[in-house]
Structure formats: structure tokens, C-alpha cells
């Protein structure tokens, strides 16, 4: 459990593990530094928003956590285990999920089929030629997730016929499948109408309290409503951390964020 843990470092012991810990994570692409010495600690069940203008390093941060990129320096721990260089699918098996800005859904299948596939990926009987019954455990959890993201009316609609907002909701359902322990939401509100944004806030607030997440969001309003703590990033560095209310009132943050021109 604690292989690679530094002796004497109490924060890295498994028993009281934080959900996610980043220590001095740095990522460079040639001469460009996308992340510089990022240290973040997220406790169990904590909901964190990461804010920052375009190019602040938010998506690179996600890619390092999910294993799409390996960090150039630093360490990442997930519930106490060192996952700094673990392959992506290994992280998924440990309960890490993410949503993507671009849709990666199965366009030719219906809503329920998409969620069912996502739930079935870590279950038995993936090669079965028999149709699942409505009472199969995996099917029940898929139905539950469809209700969670409020798509029950579109249960049998093909993904390619869904509206953009519905596709984003489905994306969340996919990320929630297979008992995740921690989720990374990459700009879930982008492209949504005001009404759909309120639905999204409702969905995120309805998640169980033990399920922590990080949400990257441009819409401050959404981000501050669904988070318990906020990290501001600027030019690949941590700029400020605090409670939503503190961040909202911080003049420096206001200036930087609104002055970034991308809010």
C-alpha cells in the first residue's frame, strides 16, 4: 500500500489517506512549462474547483492525474498509493474517473446502452450473448445513473440524436459508472444553456458526500456553487487557495480572472 512512501512523512500513510495528493508536480513540454511545482491536497470526499484562465495549466493537471501525461517531476498519490507512473487503466481500476471536454461517447448507441457499457466494463460477463434482464445488478446501476443525471426521458434515444447538453449529462453518468472514488470534471458546463447549467449544479450537488471530485470550470458561478474549496491557477502555478466565499471576494482573483478575458 505504501510502497515508495517517504519515511517519516505522516501525510503519506495509508490509514488516514487523502483522496488525492500532488507534491511538486511539474510538467514541461520542451521549453514550455505547463505545470510548475504544483502541490495540492484533497481530503476524502472533498469537492474542489480549479479556476484559471486558458493556458493556466488546468487540463494538463488533469492529464497528469489520469496518466495521459507523465509528470516531469513530482509525485501523485491516490488514496495513499503512489500512482505517479501507473498506467491510465490502472488508475481507472483504482476508482479514478474523468469527463472530457470533447465528447467521447458511443454515437451509434442509446443512452442506456452507453451507461450500461460503462458499468459493464469492470463487471463480469462482458462476452455474454444473452440480453441483460432489467434486474441484472449492472443494468440496475445503469438505470440508476441515467436517473441521477436526469436523462430517464431520453433513455432509449441514440446519442447522435441527443442535444449537446444531454450529451454532457450522459458524459457525467459514464464517469459515475463502476463505483468511482474520485472524479475529474473537465469544464462540464461549457456550451450549456443557463437552464442546463442549473441542472448540472443539481446533479453535482446530488452526488454522495463521500465522492470527491475536482471540477475545472470557467463559469465561476457554477464552480463556486458546487465546490467546498477553490484552487486558483495562473501560468502553471498555484496562485491562491481558499473557501469559495473567500475566493469570490478576493480582489486580486477578481482582477486576474476577469482580466484574463476568457471568463
Q: Is the CA virtual torsion 201, 202, 205, 206 positive or negative?
A: negative
CB of 11 to another protein, least distance (A): 30
CB of 139 to another protein, least distance (A): 10
The single residue listed with the C-alpha cell 442509446 is: 110
Candidate ranges 24-32, 86-94, 216-224, 248-256; the one touching another protein (CB under 8 A): 86-94
Interface with another protein includes 143 (CB under 8 A)?
no
Measured from the Cβ of residue 20, the count of other Cβ atoms closer than 10 Å reads: 25
Instruction: Pick the binder of another protein from 3, 10, 131, 210 (CB under 8 A).
Output: 131
Interface with another protein includes 179 (CB under 8 A)?
no
Cell of 69: 501525461
Q: Which is nearer to another protein, 1 or 107 (CB)?
A: 107
Backbone φ, ψ for residue 152 (5° rounding): -60, -25
Interface with another protein includes 93 (CB under 8 A)?
yes
Q: Which is nearer to another protein, 11 or 157 (CB)?
A: 157
Rounded to whole angstroms, the Cα distance separating 36 from 27 reads 7
CB of 256 to another protein, least distance (A): 33
CB of 67 to another protein, least distance (A): 10
CB of 114 to another protein, least distance (A): 8
Instruction: Pick the binder of another protein from 34, 118, 173, 233 (CB under 8 A).
Output: 118
The H-assigned helical ranges of the chain are 58-66, 88-93, 111-120, 137-148, 164-176, 194-205, 220-226, 244-249, 251-259
Helix H or strand E segment including 228: none
Beta bridge partners of 35: 27
Q: Which is nearer to another protein, 73 or 92 (CB)?
A: 92
Amino acid at each position: 500500500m505504501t510502497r515508495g512512501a517517504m519515511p517519516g512523512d505522516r501525510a503519506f500513510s495509508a490509514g488516514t489517506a487523502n483522496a488525492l495528493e500532488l507534491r511538486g508536480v511539474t510538467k514541461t513540454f520542451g521549453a514550455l512549462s505547463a505545470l510548475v511545482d504544483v502541490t495540492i491536497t484533497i481530503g476524502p470526499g472533498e469537492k474542489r474547483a480549479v479556476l484559471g484562465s486558458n493556458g493556466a495549466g488546468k487540463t494538463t493537471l488533469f492529464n497528469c492525474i489520469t496518466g495521459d501525461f507523465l509528470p516531469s517531476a513530482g509525485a501523485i498519490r491516490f488514496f495513499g498509493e503512489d500512482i505517479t507512473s501507473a498506467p491510465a487503466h490502472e488508475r481507472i481500476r483504482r476508482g479514478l474517473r474523468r469527463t472530457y471536454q470533447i465528447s467521447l461517447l458511443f454515437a451509434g448507441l442509446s443512452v442506456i446502452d452507453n451507461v450500461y457499457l460503462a458499468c459493464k466494463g469492470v463487471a463480469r460477463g462482458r462476452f455474454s450473448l444473452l440480453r441483460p434482464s432489467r434486474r441484472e445488478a449492472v443494468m440496475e446501476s445503469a438505470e440508476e445513473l441515467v436517473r441521477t443525471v436526469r436523462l430517464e426521458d431520453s433513455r432509449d434515444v441514440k446519442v447522435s440524436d441527443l442535444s449537446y447538453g444531454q450529451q454532457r449529462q450522459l458524459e457525467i453518468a459514464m464517469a459515475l459508472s463502476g463505483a468511482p472514488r474520485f472524479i475529474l470534471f473537465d469544464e462540464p458546463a461549457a456550451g450549456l444553456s443557463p437552464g442546463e447549467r442549473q441542472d448540472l449544479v443539481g446533479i453535482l450537488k446530488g452526488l454522495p458526500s463521500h465522492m470527491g471530485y475536482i471540477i475545472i470550470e470557467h463559469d465561476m458561478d457554477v464552480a463556486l456553487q458546487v465546490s467546498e474549496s477553490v484552487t486558483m491557477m495562473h501560468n502553471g502555478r498555484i496562485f491562491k487557495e481558499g473557501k469559495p466565499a473567500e475566493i469570490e471576494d478576493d480582489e486580486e482573483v477578481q482582477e486576474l480572472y476577469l482580466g484574463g478575458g476568457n471568463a
